[in-house]
Amino acid sequence: MSNGTTGAVLCALAAVLLFAVAWREAAVVRRLRRDGIRARGVVVDNTRVAEDDGHIWVPVIAFHDQQGHRVEFSPRMRGTGMGLETGREVPVVYEGRHPQTARVRMWRHMMGTVVSLLLGGMVFLGAGVLIVLTK
């Protein structure tokens, strides 16, 4: 296999992996929208997390599940425009048996990960096609 072919195959594999993870994430979001239990949560803290390009603030959200247990979680989607100020009340959705699956019930938090993974997959797929076409 030549370097160009290897690069194209690796890009295609990365794209397939990202599409598969996006599909799984979309299935989780669909299940939460359809069967999830809705609750109200409160942003109780913002923690500083080290990222590759510096530090970002990640909200910590607390809510009570159906059994009355306090559950805390941080949204999966992070970055610019994803922050929530401390004290803010937010809608939450979670699976009844697994409250740790909780998500903030806002479009950007529910679908942001899916959209990001799909865009990443398209970039890798495009790079693989570009490698094949320039060879």
56-72: pLDDT as tens digits: 788 999 999 999 999 99
* Token reading at 27: 């299935």
Regions in the chain scoring below 70 on pLDDT: 1-4, 51-53, 79-82
- What's residue 115's pLDDT? 94
Q: What's the pLDDT score for residue 50? A: 74
Question: CA of 54: how far to CAs of 49, 79, 81, in Å?
Answer: 9, 11, 16
Per-residue tokens: 17 = 């992996």
Residue 80: its pLDDT value, please?
Answer: 66
CB neighbour burial string for 108-128, b if at least 16 within 10 angstroms, e if fewer: ebbebbbebbbebbeebbebb
Q: Are 71 and 87 in contact (CB under 8 A)?
A: no
